Structure 1
Amino acid sequence: MSEIVNIFLASVRDGFVQVSAFVAVTVLLFSYVQYRTGGRLVEKLEENRRAGPLVGALMGLTPGCGGAIVMMPLYVRGSVSFGTVVATLIATAGDAAFVILALAPEAALYSYGIAFATAVLFGYAVDRFGLGVSRVDRAVRNIGTTVTDGGVSAPMTGNKVHHYDEAAAGEVQGLVCGADGHHDHDGDSVRESSVMRSLSLAALAAWWVAAAVGLGAGVVYLLRGAPDVPMVADLSFAGLFTVAGLVGTTLSAYLYFVGRKYVGHGDVGHARDTFGSVFETLTHAAMETSFVTVWVIAAYLAYEYGILFTGVDIGGLAAAAGVLAPIAGAVVGLIPGCGPQIVLSTAYAQGAIPFSALVANAISQDGDALFPLIAIDKTAAVVASVYTTVPALVVGVVLHYTWTAVFGLPQFGFGVL
């Protein structure tokens, strides 16, 4: 029982200081750029269609799903090509990027660099040569009827799979941004309760204090060479590390499960063209980071308790799996959303899966960016998923056989701090 409690406390503490505090800074910077540019970034994207796949890959590469989600309404409006959508989804880093950036920055640089190059090449290839998109589109439509809610299915023309009218475009924009820009992750309006709102605002303010202290402790922790930190509660470095971690994770859980329903802007995984104030920017960054925190802690606990209760050597199993590891990474990437990808990224940082599986997952995963497209046209969403999984399988398998043999770099633990 003592070991179970110690694992729980250590996971709760370390997850916030080692990952979430750095996530908060990254999300805040990206959100602040959106706030300062006032949505002009999206206007520029629409004005440069020829550079679509390159710009889409760059937007997908930004940590989190915000950049990728911005591209989906542009496709629905006919402003960007289907190749741009494919490039965006291939390069999508999702919230899992925060985990790798914090725990294995060198691995993040290589894996997302490979994903970016793959995205640009494959995106332009889809636009230029089609690569059988129309045939895959027809095959998917033969399996089930597409529900478009205002969109009109049509054979592939130019570089788009479907053509949509303005009603469909408006619906996707509503799904992405919300009618008034204030909704939670489930699309519900902000609940009214003066007591709960005051409590949630206080939790939000305290969360940023914990994040600031956690960031400072996290930087010192890295500068000291990532030593073991005792679990204490005092004014020492270890005490600040512990208190910031435990308080930060507790507040993250409250904001994600409760607070976002009363503060607003709990639109986790959904993008906005811009933010109306610094407060909105800070709130969005806190809510996004709280979501990542919850999943990171869950991944930590699942891994640690899995080893404790089963005694299984997960790293050994992954090594024995051989080429099946990157294939599995690509398959996991088919699951929409960032949760499973965060779990996989955490497993890599723990030495449980090889680098080839990490890259395959990075290419295959679509994060939350696929949800707006699923809501309007399931066919287009399925086709896009197919065209992100194929290069993921190819690149993952190639890296499995070449990463160590050709480049001399280890499959397990590469770039992990």
Structure 2
Amino acid sequence: MWPTTMQGKVMNTGQIEQTANAKLILKEKILLRWRYFFPVVIVALIMAPTTRSLTFSVISDAFFQVGVFVLATLSLYHLVAGYLAKKPSIPLAKQPITQVGFAAFLGAIPGCGGAIIVITQFIQGKFSFGSVVAVLTATMGDAAFLLIASKPVDGLVLIAISVTTGTITGYVIDLCFGRDYLRVEPQSNSQQHYACSSNTVEAATYLWKIILIPAMVISLLYAFQIDPNEFLALPEGTVEFFGGIFALIAIITWAKAKTNAKNQYQEFVAEQQKNCDSNWFSCAVQDTNFVLTWAVAAFVMFALLNQFSGFDLAIWFHQYASFTPFAGVLIGLLPGCGPQIIVTSLYIQGAIPFSAQLGNAISNDGDALFPAIALAPKIAIYATLFSTIPALIVAYGYFFLFEF
């Protein structure tokens, strides 16, 4: 029997497909409007006389002190990843005693690739459930790039702690529940839908290629506490003006990126899906635009709260210091890198202590949770809950040892 509409008219297959496509386009347009929330707010703050100077200063600082270093870090990462992808595949760890540690190491690599590999191997009966917990515990997502670019020593220390915690937790889980805990039958479609679609914004990529080296010079001048306007014999405020413009372009570029209406929340808080086989620099630019957008959101929110409300987050978190590690862990349960980038941005600005950043890093799974839920939802949820326990232990352990 042919499907019918509410008016009783018969719809053929072509009409059904057209209707489905129309609904998908509508959902994409709605999501696109939500993605424009960030640039619209920034533009509104720039247009307002009372917030113009503050907003421009903040987004310029975010561009030179965060965005440029993040792009440099991401460029190196995508260049190396693209090179290794062309090499013969390295066999996964075959010995059960080394699998958990190997999984934690894969989790330390930014992106969702490590989690997909481990979960797929678990479903196929090759990896243990403890390995799944280890990879999700060690995963920090794109927030790792932000932390490494801004505070490299803290970032490396945090990754080392996350990998160690993930490895120990994975071994404990296997010891308590067995390697085959929650094992499911292999699914024929377990690896589909995760080939990222190309969505490079060529104009933005070309712009970044032009400005990257001079922007890096300015960023290094800022890092060494040298006024770039004075050093380059430029009128006062010139560097800040162009930094603000470039930051706004990056935010608008992220907002204009093609969306995937199948999961609107994911498209808002996760990095853009893409194919990095052809142009590693374009992929680095897209990821940088995403990280910079959420970092700007955190920087602007922090600055506005401090200047106009008299509410200082740093003082508030200091007064309720015992709550901050729990808050970091709690936010880490949210899927996607966006909320985690905000936490990392607050840590960079000194608003939250390292214990909160540590708890968030161990608790959060970044973008890896989306494909994990799609591949094996029950496994992903249980593994996430299991990783929350060591996150609380490590965060509060650090808090009582060094911050209390």
Q: Is the 8 A contact 1:56 1:71 kept in 2?
A: yes
1:161 aligned partner: 182
1:276 counterpart = 2:274: no
Q: Is the 8 A contact 2:115 2:372 kept in 1?
A: no
Q: Is the 8 A contact 2:194 2:371 kept in 1?
A: yes
Question: What are the superposed Cα offsets for residues 324-345 of structure 1, whole Å, 9 maximum, x if unpaired?
Answer: 1111111111001111111111
List runs of 5+ in structure 2 lacking aligned partners. Answer: 1-47, 260-266
Q: Is the 8 A contact 1:21 1:211 kept in 2?
A: yes
Q: Is the 8 A contact 1:65 1:270 kept in 2?
A: no
Shift of 1:237: 9.9
Q: Is the 8 A contact 1:15 1:297 kept in 2?
A: yes
Alignment RMSD (CA, Å)? 3.1
Match of 2:192 among 156, 174, 180: 174
Shift of 1:202: 2.4
Q: Is the 8 A contact 2:108 2:138 kept in 1?
A: yes
User: Counterpart amino acid of 2:343?
Assistant: L
Question: What are the superposed Cα offsets for residues 80-121 of structure 1, whole Å, 9 maximum, x if unpaired?
Answer: 322122111111121112222233333223322222211111
Write the distance in 2 (CA, Å) between the matches of 1:24 and 1:287. Answer: 9
Write the distance in 2 (CA, Å) between the matches of 1:76 and 1:241. Answer: 53
Question: What are the superposed Cα offsets for residues 249-270 of structure 1, whole Å, 9 maximum, x if unpaired?
Answer: 2332233122457xxxx99647
Match of 1:295, SS? helix
1:305 aligned partner: 304
Task: Out of 377-386 and 64-73, give the one that drifted further.
Answer: 64-73
1:210 counterpart = 2:257: no
Task: Out of 316-325 and 40-49, give the one that drifted further.
Answer: 40-49
2:161 aligned partner: 114
List runs of 5+ in structure 1 lacking aligned partners. Answer: 131-156, 185-196, 406-417
Match of 1:175, SS? coil
Q: Mark the CA change 1:353 to 1:275 in structure 2 (over 3 Å): closer, same or farther.
A: closer
Write the distance in 2 (CA, Å) between the matches of 1:254 and 1:269. Answer: 14
1:58 counterpart = 2:73: no
Q: Mark the CA change 1:238 to 1:364 in structure 2 (over 3 Å): closer, same or farther.
A: farther
Write the distance in 2 (CA, Å) between the matches of 1:238 and 1:75. Answer: 58
Write the distance in 1 (CA, Å) between the matches of 2:276 and 2:311. Answer: 47
Q: Mark the CA change 1:91 to 1:18 in structure 2 (over 3 Å): closer, same or farther.
A: same
User: Counterpart amino acid of 1:353?
Assistant: I
Q: Is the 8 A contact 2:129 2:179 kept in 1?
A: no
1:86 aligned partner: 133
Write the distance in 1 (CA, Å) between the matches of 2:117 and 2:74. Answer: 15
Match of 2:73, SS? helix
Q: Mark the CA change 1:257 to 1:31 in structure 2 (over 3 Å): closer, same or farther.
A: same
1:256 aligned partner: 254
Shift of 1:396: 1.1
Shift of 1:239: 6.7
TM-score of the pair, normalised by structure 2? 0.77
2:10 aligned partner: none
Question: What are the superposed Cα offsets for residues 255-307 of structure 1, whole Å, 9 maximum, x if unpaired?
Answer: 3122457xxxx9964788x8433x2x122111111110110111111111122
What pairs with 1:261-410 in structure 2 (closer than 5 Å)? 269=271, 275-277=276-278, 279=279, 281-404=280-403
Write the distance in 1 (CA, Å) between the matches of 2:373 and 2:244. Answer: 37
User: Counterpart amino acid of 2:205?
Assistant: L
Count of aligned residue pairs for this structure pair: 349
Q: Is the 8 A contact 2:138 2:162 kept in 1?
A: yes
Q: Mark the CA change 1:41 to 1:301 in structure 2 (over 3 Å): closer, same or farther.
A: farther
Match of 2:70 among 3, 23, 26: 23
Q: Is the 8 A contact 1:176 1:270 kept in 2?
A: no
Write the distance in 1 (CA, Å) between the matches of 2:337 and 2:173. Answer: 25
Q: Is the 8 A contact 1:217 1:240 kept in 2?
A: no
